[in-house]
Amino acid sequence: MKNVYLIFGNESYLIDKELKKIVESNNILQDNIIKYNLDEVNVSLALEEASTISMFDSKKLVICEGCTFLTGENKKEINHDIDSLIRYINNPFDDVYLVFIVRKEKLDDRKKIVKELKKLSTVVECLKIESYNLNNYLSNYFKNNGYNISREAIIFMINKSGDNLTNLINEADKIMIYKDDNKDITKEDIDNLVCKNIEDNVFSLTNAIMNKDKKNIINIYRDLLLLNEDPTKLIVLIANQLRLILQVKLMVKNGYKQKDMPSVIKEHPYRVKLALESNFTIFELKDYLIKLHDLDLSIKTGKIDKNFGFEMFLLSI
């Protein structure tokens, strides 16, 4: 097997899983794992480490994160020694595993170093699992660990926890620890154990805004404050939710069927269903998005305090 790896994609859970696989399959000790951020240091330092023989004749793993130079992003702070890198990957050390991690969806295939890495290394693509495919992934995760769960319970779990794979796996692990003596997982178990995600709180807040329910707006906002959620983050999340609703409304206007929408816009069917049930008009959605944009700009330019500004926005509903 090649000792040089190129792991890229926008799904951190799958990337970390691949790293763990490399460590465990090659029996690499934690003390022999060295990490570099190549957005901060030259690749030559990682190559020097990879070329250093261990005193104890044990395997070594050199992990290179932040490899922006392998993408199309224009970062020129560091002039990486590409020639040395190409020479090394053509003749890597036997007991050293050199891993380049790019936490981006795409590489720049025009670059010579990318072409060489793809030709000479083990390439692993870790792209985000689209929301509509999460059901099978999560179901298989439970099954492979010896647990039984219905499709309805899986959908209920995703609806409650959200479609972030890392969060879902963490919640799944928590449920399996709790259910160690009983391998059948029910919706009641999920309801009792899985934390409601921030997106659901934001959707509830968006619905309260839609219904102009000021009492509910304030109650939900207070709950979010107790979770230490930053108002600027909430502005972005609410705007994203409103954009989704607007997108769905426009798709309906253009003749799309509900069953086709999730795959087209890469959203979970549950989110599409909720968006379709919204009573916002297209005009209202555009108006709120403009107000949120103006508020965000005022906060970032220091014209208004973020907490005061967001509360005033909510009270103006």
pLDDT by residue (tens digit) across 69-99?
999 886 667 889 999 999 999 999 988 999 9
**137-161: average pLDDT:** 90
- The full DSSP string for the chain is --SEEEEE-S-HHHHHHHHHHHHHHTT--GGGEEEEETTTS-HHHHHHHHTSPPTT---EEEEEE--GGGSS----SS---HHHHHHHHHS--TTEEEEEEE-SS---TTSHHHHHHHHHSEEEE-PPPPGGGHHHHHHHHHHHTT-EE-HHHHHHHHHHH-S-HHHHHHHHHHHHHHTTT--EE-HHHHHHHSPPPHHHHHHHHHHHHHTT-HHHHHHHHHHHHHTT--HHHHHHHHHHHHHHHHHHHHHHHTT--GGGHHHHHT--HHHHHHHHH----HHHHHHHHHHHHHHHHHHHTTSS-HHHHHHHHHHT-
Query: What's the pLDDT at 194?
Result: 82
What pLDDT, on a 0 to 100 scale, did the predictor assign at position 55? 67
User: Is 1's pLDDT higher than 60?
Assistant: no
Residue spans of the domains in the chain: they are 4-125, 131-193, 198-315
CATH architecture of 131-193: Orthogonal Bundle (1.10)
- Which whole number is the average pLDDT over 201-225? 79
User: What is 198-315's CATH number, 3.40.50.880, 3.40.50.970, 1.20.272.10, 3.40.1280.10?
Assistant: 1.20.272.10
pLDDT in tens, 259-274: 888 888 888 787 788 7
Fold that domain 4-125 belongs to in CATH: Rossmann fold (3.40.50)
Q: Is the pLDDT of residue 218 over 90?
A: no
Under the banding of pLDDT at 50, 70 and 90, the label for residue 247 is: very high
Q: Which of 184-193, 226-235, 286-295 has the lowest mean pLDDT?
A: 226-235
pLDDT recorded at residue 230: 85
